[in-house]
DNA sequence: AATTTTAATTGATTTAGATCAATAGCATTT
DNA sequence: AAATGCTATTGATCTAAATCAATTAAAATT
């Protein structure tokens, strides 16, 4: 149940055996079936979720009913609406399982208690945030500078696991393209090969 | 010299008088005149910069010579190329002063030493990263969902200080628009008033 | 296996914003 | 105050991607 989590932690910091045991007590295991949600838009996000197995997405819905995917997350990654989670404000995102998934949930208070009791856990959280920050900067830069085709090719190279696992129209949504445009982009790429 | 920095820190965590004195010894003061750079694309970013006074931007240059502004930062904010800073890799961004500016610089090793000696400084860094992460998520969502006009109006509301202080074509660049488009968007908004 | 639902493709048309080009408005420098 | 270099505006045209619409393909459900 905790394999992926401790693998993720140990890649970044060193915990003692006792700290790892203590750590376990703060998480709430949770299974989600495909299409079930961890968070509904408008609700307050009370969990920071680590994914042991499966894949989830977070997305917004605009006035016209179009979904915009803000994040995908697979095994070994964390997902939450950080803004809602940290400030107890209504969430603008919905978080949904795209496959049957197994999660380890951390409430705000459990997260803070863990960081107070295990300083290396706070470091782990900071290192995760640093990586997420870098990834988001790269995504902003991509949105500002790349064509539809470049966006798709770069995503497929950087995260082949996600592109293979997720319906194509969701990849389009993540890239800020329509499904039709992504279909044509892919056709173009194949024609050239 | 350290007013803004300690104001920023104290908004997030509590340091003792001794910790604050210790803290000061790790920073390198630096003045930049308008148009001078803190970092050139291709160089390794060895500083994390806190801005006591002034305003800076980080940007990339594409093959056609177009600049794309990734970040603005004013008094009380931090700026760096986090990816280059943390991994000692060549920077893809240039960081430049838009006005005469006063900075406090932290090298990688100084930052790590500070975090080891003052746990609350690590917490401060984590809290900064959390806010930056939330802001970047919002910006990604904006790029995916908003029209040119919405992007401009929302930026002007969220950061009036920056929009007033920076040339219009740089605001356009930050929003992923051409200067011509932003000029027309502004005209439209004014015509309606 | 048949039916319903959901996803992807293809074509025709539209549109938001980009590009190209010229002009006008400011600041700075001489 | 003339000249130089930025900055913003305005108009004409172009284009990448969106939208609308229909068809085909693949999953999921009965």
> d(Cα B73, Cα B165) in Å, to the nearest integer?
11
Categorize the per-residue pLDDT at B1 as very low, low, confident or very high, splitting at 50, 70 and 90: confident
Selection from A5, A32, A50, A40 nearest residue A101 by Cα:
A32
Nucleotides of D under 7 A from a protein CB: 6-12, 16-21
DSSP letter, residue B61: E
CA of B171 vs chain A CAs: smallest distance (Å): 13
pLDDT for residue B193 is more than 70: no
**Please, are residues A158 and B126 in contact by the beta-carbon 8 Å criterion?**
no
CA of B106 vs chain A CAs: smallest distance (Å): 16
Q: In the structure encoding, which two tokens stand for residue A67, read together?
A: 């979904």
The class (CATH top level) of B3-117 is: mainly beta
Q: Tell me which of B86, B142, B144 to substitute to probe the interface with A (most A C-beta atoms closer than 10 Å).
A: B144
Only one residue has tokens 């008094």, namely B75
- For residue B173, give the chain A residue with the closest CA: A144
Average pLDDT over residues B169-187: 97
**Please, are residues A121 and B119 in contact by the beta-carbon 8 Å criterion?**
no
B97-108 pLDDT per residue, tens: 999 999 999 999
A21-77 pLDDT per residue, tens: 999 999 999 999 999 999 999 999 999 999 999 999 999 988 777 899 999 999 999
Residues in A lying within 8 Å of B, measured between beta carbons? 60, 62, 68, 70-71, 82-83, 86, 92, 115, 119, 122-123, 125-126, 129-130, 132-134, 136-141, 143-145, 176
Selection from B187, B176, B182 nearest residue B145 by Cα:
B176
A147 is near strand D: CB distance < 7 Å: yes
> d(Cα A144, Cα B60) in Å, to the nearest integer?
10
Least confident of A97-111, B51-65, B71-85, B160-174: B51-65
Q: Which nucleotide is nearest to B167 (CA to C1')?
A: D7
- The packing angle between helices A148-158 and A119-145, to 10°, is 150
Strand partners, A175: none
Taking an 8 Å cut-off on Cβ atoms, the answer to whether A60 and B176 are in contact is no
**Residues 164-183 of A, Cβ under 7 A from nucleic strand D:** 176-178, 180-181
Q: In the structure encoding, which two tokens stand for residue A61, read together?
A: 């819905």
Domain boundaries, chain A: 3-145, 147-193
Which three-class secondary structure state does DSSP give residue B161? helix
> d(Cα B178, Cα B120) in Å, to the nearest integer?
43
Q: Which nucleotide is nearest to A170 (CA to C1')?
A: C7
Q: In the structure encoding, which two tokens stand for residue B67, read together?
A: 């600049």
**Please, are residues B132 and A133 in contact by the beta-carbon 8 Å criterion?**
yes
Taking an 8 Å cut-off on Cβ atoms, the answer to whether A145 and B82 are in contact is no
pLDDT at A193: 66
A85-109 pLDDT per residue, tens: 999 999 999 999 999 999 999 999 9
Strand partners, A97: A56
Chain A CB contacts of B134 under 8 Å are 82-83, 86
B116-165 pLDDT per residue, tens: 999 999 999 999 999 999 999 999 999 989 999 999 999 999 999 999 99
pLDDT at A185: 97
pLDDT > 90 in chain B, percent: 94
Mean pLDDT of chain B: 95
CATH superfamily of A3-145: Jelly Rolls (2.60.120.10)
SS (H, E, C) A25-68: CCCEEEEECCCCEEECCCCECCEEEEEEECEEEEEEECCCCCEE
CA of A115 vs chain B CAs: smallest distance (Å): 9
pLDDT > 90 in chain A, percent: 94
């Amino acid at each position: 149940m905790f394999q992926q989590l401790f693998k993720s932690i140990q890649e970044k910091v060193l915990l003692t055996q006792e700290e790892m045991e203590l750590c376990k007590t703060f998480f709430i295991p949770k299974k989600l079936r495909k299409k079930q949600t961890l968070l509904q838009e408008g609700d307050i996000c009370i969990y920071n979720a680590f994914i042991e197995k499966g894949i989830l997405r977070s997305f917004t819905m605009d006035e016209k009913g179009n979904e915009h995917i803000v994040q995908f997350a697979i095994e070994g990654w964390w997902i939450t609406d950080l803004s809602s989670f940290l400030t107890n404000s209504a969430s603008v995102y919905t978080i949904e399982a795209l496959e049957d998934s197994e999660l380890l949930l951390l409430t705000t208070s459990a997260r803070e208690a863990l960081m107070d009791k295990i300083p290396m856990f706070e470091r782990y959280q900071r290192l995760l945030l640093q990586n997420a920050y870098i990834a988001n900067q790269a995504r902003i830069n991509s949105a500002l500078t790349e064509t539809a085709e470049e966006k798709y090719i770069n995503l497929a190279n950087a995260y082949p696991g996600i592109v293979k696992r997720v319906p194509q129209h969701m990849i389009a949504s993540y890239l800020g393209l329509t499904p039709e445009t992504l279909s044509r982009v892919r056709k173009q790429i194949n024609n050239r090969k």
